[in-house]
Amino acid sequence: MGDFIPFSGVYFFTYQFNYPYAKVAREWIRDSITKEYNFNGVLDWYYQKFSGNPAILPTFSIKQKEVKSHFVKPFDKAMKSMKPLSQGILIEFSQPDNILSVEQGLVVSIEEEQNLGQTVIVRHKNGVESIYGMLDQLKVEENDWLQSGQSIGMANQNLYFAIRDQSKYVNPMDVIAFEGQN
């Protein structure tokens, strides 16, 4: 609001005096306030570029969209084993591994969970969230914006991984190719 006060004084004095430069300024102010602008091009560009709500905003659509299989696997090296759980999977490694974001998104939560230890939740577009538990070292903070494949942290031996679409858990093995992807 501090910046507005000097400009409001300029506007006031522009209309108080009849100098030639004041007339030009008055016309510019009047045009910028009364002229109609066509923002359809900007709107079309936005929908083409982002195709929906940004990941940081909740999605309010009535139809629930399916989770797409364009996610990358959440680790760098080969896994030793994978065990399905009721709300996700448990991945075991033979050596410490770098844990990666499966898709572009926003880190919405970093918490110490009772059974999962350090847990990071990343929100992706359309309300889909990826959950990474049992992390040993973190490389992110809350409100960090991550790209697909960007490091979240390290896991020594195990990683709990889950995907949640709105409030429903999705089997990660149905949407991510864990074998053959690097």
Q: What's the confidence (pLDDT) of residue 8?
A: 63
Which residues are CB-neighbours of 56 under 8 A, at least 6 positions away?
106, 123
pTM strictly above 0.85: no
pLDDT exceeds 90 at position 167: no
pLDDT exceeds 60 at position 66: no
Q: Give the pair of three-digit tokens for residue 163.
A: 């995907």
Instruction: State pLDDT tens for residues 70-99.
Output: 788 899 888 888 998 889 999 999 899 999
Instruction: State pLDDT tens for residues 17-34.
Output: 777 777 787 787 777 777
